[in-house]
């Protein structure tokens, strides 16, 4: 009898223990990844800076394992370059590469837009545009709070949502695997100052695009989307001229 009672108490104790949630190690990795990425976006870690796993782990107060995992992910996404015999560096962006990335973005996003308009009825498209509008309002809030990290994340969500609206898993996967979305944050960081006025102008550009998208005219929408993305090539050329006046 005593033995059954003890077993029942043990079972009760185990039942209580199972109520505790498992520690989510992936959340620590994600926090480390976000911290390093945000430091790059706001310029605490600058292009071509050499970084160390040991120093990063000490600054973040974590082991080297989540730092190493974060670096691998950031390398895959183009934030970081790893040179086996020379060290790990914050990626420095080649302006010609940025231009190529913009043209890839246009090709993928125009296809996504075409398929989304074909596959969504007017009601679904309206809801989709309303979702985009909510992201734009958050962009304005980020501008008022002078939060460039939130602004860039919202920009990436805006264009990722447009890609996913096509309901084409292969296209969405291609968008992510190509790293095309990373040309959003890299260009915003390289080309534009993080001032309140510039951040508000960034939100206004998305609002202008959304106004055209609500009209559902494929050709007009594609033209507006192409202009929205490729206008940055002119801004890149301005940066090139500033870096090398002989190109004028």
Q: Where residue 215 sits, what CATH number does that domain have?
A: 1.20.120.530
Angstrom distance (rounded) from CA 82 to CA 91: 9
Over residues 89-104, mean pLDDT: 80
What per-residue confidence (pLDDT) applies to 2?
A: 58
Q: Which one of 90, 112, 134 terminates a domain?
A: 90
**Of 86-100, 137-151, 157-171, 202-216, which gets the smallest average pLDDT?**
86-100
180 within some domain: yes
Q: Which one of 45, 64, 90 terminates a domain?
A: 90
What per-residue confidence (pLDDT) applies to 114?
A: 97
Q: Say which CATH number the domain at 44 has.
A: 1.10.10.10
Mean pLDDT of the chain: 83
What per-residue confidence (pLDDT) applies to 39?
A: 86
What per-residue confidence (pLDDT) applies to 248?
A: 46
**Non-local CB neighbours of 166 within 8 Å, separated by 6+ positions:** 111, 112, 113, 114, 115, 116, 119, 172
Query: Which range marks the domain in which residue 65 is found?
Result: 18-90
Over residues 12-27, mean pLDDT: 55
Give residue-wise pLDDT tens across range 203-226: 999 999 999 999 999 999 999 999
Q: Are residues 86 and 145 in the same domain?
A: no
12 within some domain: no
Q: Are residues 61 and 46 in the same domain?
A: yes
């Amino acid at each position: 009898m005593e033995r059954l009672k003890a077993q029942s108490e043990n079972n009760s104790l185990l039942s209580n223990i199972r109520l505790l949630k498992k520690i989510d190690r992936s959340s620590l990795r994600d926090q480390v990844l976000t911290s390093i990425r945000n430091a790059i976006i706001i310029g605490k870690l600058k292009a071509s800076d050499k970084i160390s796993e040991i120093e990063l782990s000490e600054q973040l107060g974590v082991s080297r394992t989540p730092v190493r995992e974060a670096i691998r992910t950031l390398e895959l996404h183009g934030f970081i370059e790893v040179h086996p015999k020379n060290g790990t560096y914050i990626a420095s962006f080649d302006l010609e590469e940025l231009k190529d990335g913009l043209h890839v973005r246009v090709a993928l996003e125009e296809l996504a837009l075409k398929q989304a308009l074909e596959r969504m009825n007017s009601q679904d498209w309206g809801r989709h545009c309303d979702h985009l509008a909510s992201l734009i309002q958050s962009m304005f809030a980020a501008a008022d709070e002078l939060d460039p990290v939130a602004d860039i994340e919202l920009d990436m969500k805006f264009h990722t949502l447009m890609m996913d609206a096509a309901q084409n898993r292969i296209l969405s996967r291609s968008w992510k695997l190509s790293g095309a979305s990373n040309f959003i944050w890299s260009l915003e960081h390289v080309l534009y100052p993080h001032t309140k006025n510039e951040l508000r102008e960034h939100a206004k550009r998305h609002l202008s695009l959304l106004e055209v998208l609500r009209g559902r005219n494929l050709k007009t929408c594609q033209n507006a989307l192409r202009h929205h993305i490729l206008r940055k090539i002119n801004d890149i050329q301005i940066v090139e001229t500033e870096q090398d006046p002989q190109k004028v």
